[in-house]
Chains A and B, each alone.
Chain A
């Protein structure tokens, strides 16, 4: 029974765009893009490498792709890989010194937090090219649908693009999970010295997973840009987005493949509900702007205390716990 669930969900995901109105389809696309980013973050986050700088990698993915397109006419098909490589280089430049000097835990998180701000400030400061805080819009190609420009006027086509990217993210998560690398990183996350004594290249292993995570995040950023056709330094980067990533993964579950996706579904639906609610209240003259952020903050604290494995992690634990009792 449980084995058929993935196939049913897979089938529903494939037929979804043909039977779904535009607004839910838009939500679905956004959920898939963010799920990819959250999955990318959890690739390293699950090993105790907590990054508060993934907004930077998203920004790099989006801005490098869009700038190459607008100023050099380079197709996103080349621009996106270029952006992903740029993100990998950036990840290396930041992470290598950290790992070499054993900057771990909170200190690593602080360094990455600085990274997300630095990238945001660089984008704002280069306003002549990037549009600064006002944001940036990739040039439309022709009537808005072009395979070469990776632009699609209809949501249905784009849906399948992001569905593919999301599946790619899950596949990579799975491959890492099944590899010896996972054991190495689990080991490193608990005891770097003991791991090194067992022959593990500590710095190298951490660098690999960090760069992989950054590359996938950049892909998410680029797809966001291609879909929304608008990006801004705060829309797609900065501390706000970096924290949003952490929050969603914590909510969904850090240690399971589908956790980040569940996190994306919960947080995006919540955001939509809050937005509609606050807007409707405003028409009645009650201004509650900022309420949603406050509720997120409160939820984050409650989740970390009471559901540290996230919604999905907790659910799986309970199911597995019930099963274990049966066998023993």
Chain B
């Protein structure tokens, strides 16, 4: 089980004089759900963008199953088996809900599957996240939670081995957040997909993840089990603040689930 699926080594991204991600190294094993947390602007999405090919690393490397992938085109990285969602949902409004996912199912496999097979795969992905699979449903019928589900369905339809879930459940109510968290768990258990989950609301994340990494100002300041990280004084100082006790409670409740 402990096969390493993705690793970064001294990954760095600078935008002019600003260092968005500074020397971040981490490893994720196959089958893990790893939380990546940090305040706004701490570099979480930038790390995702470098892994998924949307941004080229300034220096350092990204290794997927031992192979260097830093700087590859996003579509190529998608074909290799890394799916991603966007923090702000980016649906294609002129296509229907089903068509949005069909595109991902077909092109995510680099066009090597038939159209009929892509429609089936798309319906499976939509069922997994609990969205309607009928041909007519338009994007405008989806609310904030629906759009996030669509992001997830699109990423799943590309048949990834590693899912970069830029979830940011802000804007969802508590039951919707719990639903989303449970869905990620099911994706791992039923589809065997490794997940890196970016989030800045820590409570709900702590319940689900195996391990947490905390970023601040582009640097990794803490890493470990949810219960360890939630009690790390550095994390409490820069991030948790007064919410610390809630998050600690949530992290320790994990065993009960």
- Which A residues are within 8 Å of any B CB, using their own CB? 180, 183-184, 186-187, 189-191, 193-202
Q: What residues of B have a CB within 8 angstroms of the CB of A197 in the complex? A: 52, 54, 74-75, 78, 83-84, 86, 155
Contact A186 B94, CB 8 Å, known A180-B107, A198-B104, A198-B154 = yes
Bound Cα distance A199, B108 (Å)? 4
With both chains docked as a complex, state the minimum distance between the C-beta of A203 and any C-beta of chain B, in angstroms.
9
Main secondary structure of the interface of B (DSSP, over half): helix
Q: How many A-B residue pairs have CB under 8 A?
A: 73
- Taking a contact as CB atoms under 8 Å apart, the answer to whether A199 and B158 are in contact is yes
Enumerate B117-137 residues with CB–CB distance to A below 8 Å.
118
With contacts A183-B106, A197-B78 known, what are 11 further pairs, Cβ within 8 A?
A180-B115, A183-B103, A184-B107, A186-B94, A190-B92, A193-B54, A195-B103, A196-B75, A198-B154, A198-B158, A199-B104
- Taking a contact as CB atoms under 8 Å apart, the answer to whether B103 and A191 are in contact is no
Closest residue on chain A to residue B49 by CB atoms: A193
Of B53, B92, B104, B118, the residue contacting A186 (CB under 8 A) is B92
Bound Cα distance A41, B227 (Å)? 61
- Taking a contact as CB atoms under 8 Å apart, the answer to whether A180 and B74 are in contact is no
Q: What residues of A have a CB within 8 angstroms of the CB of B102 in the complex? A: 183
List, sorted by A's number, 5 A–B pairs whose CB atoms are closer than 8 Å.
A180-B115, A190-B92, A196-B53, A197-B52, A197-B54
With both chains docked as a complex, state the minimum distance between the C-beta of B124 and any C-beta of chain A, in angstroms.
16
In this complex, how many residues of chain B approach chain A with their Cβ under 8 Å: the count is 33
Most buried by B among A186, A189, A190, A196: A196
5 smallest CB-CB distances across A and B, nearest first, come from A196-B74, A199-B108, A194-B90, A198-B104, A199-B78
Bound Cα distance A202, B155 (Å)? 17
Q: Is B12 an interface residue (CB 8 A)?
A: no
Enumerate B73-122 residues with CB–CB distance to A below 8 Å.
73-75, 78-79, 83-84, 86, 90, 92-95, 99-100, 102-104, 106-111, 115, 118
Q: What residues of B have a CB within 8 angstroms of the CB of A190 in the complex? A: 92-94
Q: What residues of A have a CB within 8 angstroms of the CB of B107 in the complex? A: 180, 184, 198-201
